[in-house]
Chains A and B, each alone.
Chain A
Amino acid sequence: MSTLAATAPALKRIGVGASLRRNRRWALIASYFFLIMFAIFFLMPPYYMVVTALKSDAEVARMATNPWIIANGATFDQFKILFTQTDFLIFFKNTVIVTVCVVAITMVVSVLAAFSLGRMKFWGSGILATGIFLTYLVPDTLLFLPLFQIVKSVGLLNSYWGMVLVYPTLTVPFCTWIMIGYFQSIPKELDEAALIDGAGHMQMLTKIFIPVALPGIIAAMIFAFTVSWAAFVYPLAFLYSADQQVLTVGTVTSLIRGDVYKWGMLMAGALVAAAPPLVIYAFLMDYYIAGLTAGATKG
């Protein structure tokens, strides 16, 4: 039912006996028009990033031509330079290591805690769950300074393993929250059937709940992956050497040669760095979104 059917009152009464069908078609056309405007707004920067990454340095520097199109033929030179003449691939490798470790840690911690908080009601479980949710609201920009001291004291400053230590603060609370919701939505009868079948708690978790809550687990994993991949504050504050740096900070700060911003290469770097989340999004969009909305709509 089109709730925009009468957005513009003028459209409604185009003469006596205006066809309802015609009104709805107008409303649909208007919807598409505005949606296309928004789509242009949202997709314009990525598009421009792609265009720039495929241009030669010379064309990037030339100001006379339309920067929105590739006038002199697309080239992959920027990517080649990026991979061979910069530390980009090191950044990529570091980010992969960090992300994989963090996702693994996050999932183990969250699933265990969520199963316990969500299904095994014990004294204080409600308070703990609420507390976890609240800690999610503590931003990284509040914690990064004291954490600097802590990471330094553990000797992990300027090491990407320091990232593995601190990133879970970004992922674990929310992932636990998501998983609690999913675990709670599994009917109680499954526990009882399993108990009768003779399962212990760990067995229940691994053989029954994890398979049944798999969509939630995938959604949480994607969330943890995305947050780890995109983290910026901690690496910027704690990592100095190029060989320890991760993609986000590396692309933005280290790829600048001298004072010259090689935008073609920078855009190429940004694109390659952004690729993994985008690819996951393209294939697993529903899980991606489920992870996002789980927090609010599951209450």
Chain B
Amino acid sequence: MAEVTLRNVGKRYDDVVAVSNINLDIPNHEFVVLVGPSGCGKSTTLRMIAGLEEISDGEISIGGEVVNDLPPKDRDIAMVFQNYALYPHMTVAENMSFGLKLRKFPKAEIKQRVDNAARILDITELLTRRPKQLSGGQRQRVAMGRAIVRNPKVFLFDEPLSNLDAKLRVQMRTEIKRVHQKVKTTTVYVTHDQVEAMTLADRVVVMHKGKIEQIGTPNDLYHHPKTRFVAGFIGSPAMNLVPAKLESNGSGLKIRLSDKLSFEVPESRAARYRGHTGKDLLFGLRPEHITETRGRENGVGQEFPVTLDVVEPMGMETMVFFKVDGTEVCGRVEPTAAKASGETMQLRANLDHMHLIDPATNAVL
């Protein structure tokens, strides 16, 4: 168990900068998720921690020791790969004990660790099988078992669930969380799926184009995104972003989305925005904060009428899409309240959760 620290870490391939300016402090026992779209540099960063890529700039330390010059095997880490990378000609037990055998652990201890890990992951009956006889989920567990027996300072996961089907993914997600609660090893986990990030992480690191956009707890990122990218990336379906103009409204502020639609900025937010009056900004509001009006007479929010474009029933709720000056906006309403496509409907927006983004800096105000 140990802390992982990244100081000004960067990676260059010839002239191309893959990753730059990565600063991250991961305390012992924490489960940190690096999340972002393909090509954002999260896997590269993970592989630098593992020692599979050379570090172009900066320093990485594990357990207080700078590991830049250490090969992977000396960093006391274990990794679970997207494609599991199980040795095809070895049995499950041999796969799991390979690392220990190489390090000359006594046979008895190897057996004990393998049995222990197999019990935690519920793969004891699979120990004598070979990888090609296993299903995807089983292989993933064996890959995790291989990591657990090593009892390393840090677990590294490189998109381990991407190859599994949706249902299995949800199951394995819970497995991983359960294992982390039991074993408590510091974990760095890479994924492009923000739902995985939000459900698994103690803290989330959102990455984009080789840089860190924001670090925070899932709640932080959800409620207080700092950049446009984070605002649009976290949350499913994505936050609505509509070009708007901030106007003065007597002593208060008004945000104008179109000639026909404007909202009053609530007091709780007005102070922050006052300095930007008159500017063209991006208005952000999550679909879950645009709801139907029925039964909310005492609720917060401002009502407004819309003509529905597309209506998507999702079972538990219905997604409604409408246009505001050409930009498509999404809201979530009770299925029974939803009208049909083409009809008008009254919606309520909870402006306490609004965000304003300066398009010039892409920063959330």
Consider the complex of A and B and state whether they touch directly, i.e. have CB atoms less than 8 Å apart: yes
CB distance from A143 to the nearest CB of B (A): 40
Q: Is B71 an interface residue (CB 8 A)?
A: yes
For chain B, the bracket of interface size reads under 10
Q: Which B residue's beta carbon lies closest to that of A24?
A: B54
Chain B residues positioned under 8 Å from A124 (CB to CB) = none
Interface positions of B from 50 to 89, Cβ below 8 Å from A:
51-52, 54, 69-71
Q: A interface, by DSSP: helix, strand, loop or mixed? A: loop
A200 to B317, CA, bound (A): 55
CA–CA, A163 and B51, complex, Å:
61
Chain A: minimal CB distance from B131 (Å): 21
Interface size on A, residues (CB 8 A): 6
Interface centre among A17, A20, A21 (most CB of B within 10 A): A20
Residues from chain B with Cβ under 8 Å of A1 in the complex: 52
Closest to B71 in A: A20
A203 lies within 8 A of chain B by Cβ: no
- Expressed in whole angstroms, the Cα–Cα distance for A18 and B69 within the complex equals 7
A19 within 8 A of B: yes
Q: Which of A17, A18, A21 contacts B54 (CB 8 A)?
A: A21
Residues of B within 8 A of A19 (CB): 69
Residues of B within 8 A of A20 (CB): 51, 54, 69-71
Residue of A nearest to B52 (CB): A1
Which A residue's beta carbon lies closest to that of B66?
A17
Q: How far is the CA of A1 from the CA of B69 in the complex (A)?
A: 16
Inter-chain contacts of B71 with A (CB < 8 A): 20
Which residues of A have CB within 8 Å of B51?
20
Closest approach, in angstroms, between the C-beta of A21 and any C-beta of chain B? Answer: 6
Residues of A within 8 A of B (CB): 1, 17-21
What 10 pairs across the A-B complex have the smallest Cβ distances? A17-B69, A19-B69, A20-B69, A21-B54, A20-B54, A20-B71, A18-B69, A1-B52, A20-B51, A20-B70
* Listed A/B pairs (9) with beta-carbon separation below 8 Å: A1-B52, A17-B69, A18-B69, A19-B69, A20-B51, A20-B69, A20-B70, A20-B71, A21-B54
Can you add 7 more A-B contacts, CB < 8 Å, to A17-B69, A20-B51, A21-B54? A1-B52, A18-B69, A19-B69, A20-B54, A20-B69, A20-B70, A20-B71
